[in-house]
Amino acid sequence: MFFNLDKFQEILENIKKNKLRTILTGFSVSWGIFMLVLLLGAGYGIENGVKSDFESDAVNSIWVYRGQTSKPYKGLKQGRRIQFKNNDYENIRTQIKQIDRISAAFYLNQKNTTRYKNETGSFDMMAVHPDYREIEKIYPVKGRLFNQLDINQHRKVVIIGADVEKALFKKTNPVGEIIIINSIAFRVIGVFADDGDERQHRYIYLPISTAQQVFNGRNRVHRLMFTTGQANVEQGKEIEKNVKQILADNHQFDIDDKRAIYVRNRLERFQKFMTLFQNIRIFIWIIGIGSIVAGIVGVSNIMLIVVKERTREIGVRKALGATPGSIIDLVLTESILITLFSGYWGLVGGVIVLELMAKFIQGQEYFSNPEVDLSVAFGALLLLIIAGALAGYFPAKRAANIKPVEALQDE
């Protein structure tokens, strides 16, 4: 029976007689599980850091930027600059049904001065459509964000980032207040935040229709961005291809001209990173299991030595009526205890080091919250129990096959 007090006392007495040997053997197992936990935790830390970078925008978003043609097309010379217009936004929005959210962006000159009473500042400004909130993943902390009615009526309203609020309004609630941008009055309707991108907090956003009208933008657009809903990577590539075709038809350039427009497909990039991290985890498990196996081989060798040293004792036991099963049980239990106890301290040590890493390496780009999932920890412990049983099986089998007469004659 596994849970037998006398058996455990006997095993502990045997371990005490060979403390150094047991400690050195157990250390190899502890080191293996320690390195597995540490490598897995560090890998998750890097993965979390990369994921947090992607969280600044919608993962399934595609961003399209203007470029300059590098090929002649239908009699038109190369070197033409592509200028997006409102009809590009409308064509993509109405013709590609798989698109979930879509917005165009119109940039304002960065030298625009913003004033509220006696406070002034220079901030980044951009005019967008309402769907931009889902693409950039901004959310209101005060007031509201703009809607389609603001676009349709060309309302002179703005939403501001948290840093803009601090710089201009101090302790005053900005919602409903009037700010002056290049001598033009705009009403603040909301304050927004972006958990994934601190730079957004210095932005001022305007309805795109208002900005084009007030700042002489006519129908010009600087950038297009949209999300692809539940589309997978392959479907996202197809949507990207369709968008390129619409823009190529509108602006008369070769669809294969990679410099005419630039496309950033975040879903494709995200999937590549996730595949990379999956491969890294497999590699880490191979390295970790290899280290654990090396430790288990050490435990198995030690148990062979233990069996050899206790040959006469085992012979006496069998002569007095001990069954082969009880001998196997004794050796297996000792092997599992050494492996499990050593592995437990390796697991604890790995978790402690990860906690220290999380505490002292916070704020580093592309590294965040190194951790090991509970399922991984329990899986590692289960692996140790199985490994301990395997390490003790062959020595236990050898002990069970010892003949009492031969054992009693052993020197």
Find, among 205, 89, 93, the residue nearest to 138 by Cα: 205
Find, among 108, 7, 41, the residue nearest to 348 by Cα: 41
Q: Answer yes or no: is pLDDT of 142 > 80.
A: yes
CB 188 within 8 A of CB 179: yes
pLDDT (tens digit per residue) in 265-318? 887 777 777 777 777 777 777 777 777 777 777 777 777 676 666 666 666 666
Question: Could you tell me if residue 57 is left (phi over 0), alpha (psi between -120 and 50 degrees) or otherwise beta?
Answer: beta
Q: State the number of CA atoms in the 13 A half-sphere of 74 facing the CB.
A: 7
Rounded Cα–Cα distance for residues 200 and 159 (Å): 12
Rounded Cα–Cα distance for residues 81 and 245 (Å): 17
Rounded Cα–Cα distance for residues 355 and 370 (Å): 8
pLDDT (tens digit per residue) in 44-65? 777 666 666 555 556 788 899 9
Q: Answer yes or no: is pLDDT of 127 > 70.
A: yes
pLDDT (tens digit per residue) in 221-267? 999 999 888 888 888 889 989 999 999 999 999 998 989 999 988 87
- Rounded to the nearest integer, the mean pLDDT of the chain is 80
In sequence order, what are the residues at sequence separation of 6 or more whose Cβ sits closer than 8 angstroms to the Cβ of residue 203? Answer: 123, 124, 125, 126, 160, 161, 164
Confidence of residue 330 (pLDDT cuts 50, 70, 90): confident
* Cβ count near 254 (within 10 Å): 16
Q: What is the pLDDT of residue 212?
A: 93
Q: Determine the average pLDDT of the residues in 20-36.
A: 76
pLDDT (tens digit per residue) in 158-208? 999 999 999 999 888 999 999 999 889 999 999 998 876 778 888 999 999
Confidence of residue 1 (pLDDT cuts 50, 70, 90): very low
pTM, 2 dp? 0.65
Rounded Cα–Cα distance for residues 376 and 386 (Å): 15
Give the pairing of strands 157-161 and 184-193: parallel
- What percentage of the chain has pLDDT greater than the value 70? 75
Q: State the number of CA atoms in the 13 A half-sphere of 196 facing the CB.
A: 20
Q: Answer yes or no: is pLDDT of 218 > 90.
A: no
Q: Answer yes or no: is pLDDT of 214 > 60.
A: yes
Q: What is the 3-state secondary structure (H, E, C) of 60-103?
A: CEEEEEECECCCCECCECCCCECCEEHHHHHHHHHHCCCCCCEE
Which two structure tokens, joined as six digits, stand for 338? 């050494």
Question: Could you tell me if residue 183 is left (phi over 0), alpha (psi between -120 and 50 degrees) or otherwise beta?
Answer: left
Rounded Cα–Cα distance for residues 266 and 62 (Å): 6
Rounded Cα–Cα distance for residues 218 and 331 (Å): 85
Q: What is the pLDDT of residue 230?
A: 82
Confidence of residue 90 (pLDDT cuts 50, 70, 90): very high
How does DSSP classify residue 108?
Answer: P
Rounded Cα–Cα distance for residues 285 and 338 (Å): 22
How does DSSP classify residue 109?
Answer: P
Q: What is the pLDDT of residue 408?
A: 55
